[in-house]
Copies of this chain bind each other. A is one copy, B any other.
Amino acid sequence: MKHLINHIVIVGGRAAGPAAAAKARRENPGAKITMIEAGRYISTGTCEIPYLISGEVSSPGDLVFFTADDFKRHYDVDVLTDTSVTGIAPRQRLLQIESNGTKYEMGYDRLVLTTGAKSKIHPQFPPELKNVHYVKNIEDAEVLLGSEHLTGKSWLVVGASYAGLEFAESLAKKGKDVILIDKDELPGSGFDAEIRQLINEVLVKNGIEFVGKTPELKVFTDSGKVRKIKFDGRLKEIDGVIGSIGIEPETSLAKKAGLELGAKGGIKVDNRMRTSDQYIFAAGDCVELKDTVTGRHVYLPQAVVARDGGYVAGANAAGGNDFMYPVLRNTALRVFDRFATKTGKCAKTLDELRIPYKIVTATADALVHVMPGTHKVFGKLIIGNDGKILGAGFFGGPEVSGYCDIIALAIKAGLKATDLRHGHYNYTPTLSPFKNLIESLAIKAAGKSR
């Protein structure tokens, strides 16, 4: 079949796109491969963008891993940047393309859509306001970093989930006064309630004002800029705003092409990353994928998932036969010197799905108490009726990375909470505690099930 695939086109060049292109090239050395990107850059980092403000990452260029020329040289893939795909004619297998005012058509044998996601827009903070920034990609970051109001002292971050918290921290580290607002009562949407409380404590300690449940927020604009906000009777001057209330799959092209979407709004794909059109594949932040724990489709816009989905889509578009694994959320967030993690399912989702569960929580030492640098780590384990682990959340120092990865692997392997007991966790005074948090949670889980 590979010899019938003469031209593979990939629409979107950020995370899933380059992965798909690279894999397609490996799978099919003879095909022509074209990657089309609407923006200026391909192969970029996204998760690192907040740290451009704090200076932990020095320049946006550091987050561009391949230039178009390098990518062409390395993978023999034609790369078109600043080029938009405006329509798809699936029957004719034709793309409508626009670049620098010129419109043209391009045929394909197989198409891979890696169109990513776009920022949700808060109605009171439209991006048309000059000092309101939705910073989703490198180009957005360049605009923010080049804007003169970045010198202003007073910043508002709208939305206190992952990126919002990261931007708030970065602005604070840069010496800004930061107000962080969210529709929820606590920051850290997506994390467990106990962890959201702990996140809030860290924010307070570090001088970030969190304002939850802001129904009566008033925004005063002047000359196309946000100047002041008013809430709880308080009036605050504002120099700049970062909007960060979430992202949603960018599916306008898929919709136009008549591709099926899923319940979560992402493009529907099978486990080969094939859409409802047999010649079109999709991957990255524009698709929905099957969840490991529930077997249902979820929207999980994560860089690693985008990369791996891109690999599968690219391989299969090129005539291969690769499978995508069911996904599992396993995310972490730094809040100043602490880290919060979220793995698998949370109670809220399980309630919605009417999946029964029990919860155990524990607090443990990061190191034995006599060692310098120790601190407390909080953990929460969510366990199904059959004893299997459904999810977990941790809050502590960098050791939580290992803890949440242990849980992720345990969920993938179908282990029970009690299987985590006597896990042979290392004990080293300078590195790890005598009884770690996973062991403590497993002991509690065993006690409850007896």
A interface list, Cβ under 8 A from B: 45, 47-48, 51, 56-57, 62-63, 292, 302-304, 307-308, 325, 327-334, 339, 341, 343, 368, 370-372, 398-406, 408-413, 415, 419-420, 422-432, 434-436, 438
Evaluate contact between A426 and B405: CB separation under 8 angstroms. Answer: yes
Chain B residues near A327 (CB-CB < 8 A): 424
Partner pick for A415 among B308, B330, B413, B427, CB 8 A cutoff: B413
Evaluate contact between B330 and A371: CB separation under 8 angstroms. Answer: no
Beyond A423-B405, A426-B401, whether A339 also contacts B431 by CB under 8 A is yes
Chain B residues near A302 (CB-CB < 8 A): 427
Evaluate contact between A410 and B408: CB separation under 8 angstroms. Answer: no
A-B contact list, 6 entries, CB within 8 Å: A51-B371, A57-B370, A334-B430, A334-B431, A409-B415, A412-B423
Chain B residues near A399 (CB-CB < 8 A): 398, 401-402
Chain B residues near A51 (CB-CB < 8 A): 371, 429-430
Beyond A332-B432, A334-B430, A424-B327, whether A371 also contacts B57 by CB under 8 A is yes
A141, chain B: closest CB distance, angstroms: 13
**How many copies of this chain does one complex carry?**
2
Closest to A325 in B: B422
Query: In the docked arrangement, what's the CA distance between A403 and B426, Å?
Result: 10
Closest to A63 in B: B370
Evaluate contact between B45 and A426: CB separation under 8 angstroms. Answer: no
Beyond A370-B45, A370-B57, whether A408 also contacts B431 by CB under 8 A is no
Evaluate contact between A372 and B426: CB separation under 8 angstroms. Answer: no
Partner pick for A426 among B341, B412, B429, CB 8 A cutoff: B341
**Extra 8 A-B pairs, beta carbons < 8 Å, given A47-B428, A47-B429, A343-B424:** A63-B370, A331-B428, A332-B426, A334-B431, A339-B430, A405-B406, A406-B409, A408-B423
Closest to A400 in B: B431
Closest to A430 in B: B334
Query: In the docked arrangement, what's the CA distance between A191 and B56, Å?
Result: 35
Between A57, A372, A423, the greatest number of chain B beta carbons within 10 A of the residue's beta carbon is seen for: A423
Evaluate contact between A308 and B371: CB separation under 8 angstroms. Answer: no
Evaluate contact between B426 and A331: CB separation under 8 angstroms. Answer: yes
Chain B residues near A45 (CB-CB < 8 A): 368, 370, 429
Evaluate contact between A303 and B424: CB separation under 8 angstroms. Answer: no
Partner pick for A332 among B47, B405, B412, B431, CB 8 A cutoff: B431
Query: In the docked arrangement, what's the CA distance between A402 and B436, Å?
Result: 11
Evaluate contact between A370 and B408: CB separation under 8 angstroms. Answer: no
Chain B residues near A403 (CB-CB < 8 A): 402
Query: In the docked arrangement, what's the CA distance between A435 and B408, Å?
Result: 15
Kindly list the 4 A-B residue pairs having the minimum CB-CB distance in the complex, ordered from nearest: A402-B402, A408-B424, A334-B430, A332-B428
Evaluate contact between A419 and B426: CB separation under 8 angstroms. Answer: no
Evaluate contact between B429 and A308: CB separation under 8 angstroms. Answer: no
Query: In the docked arrangement, what's the CA distance between A443 and B86, Å?
Result: 38
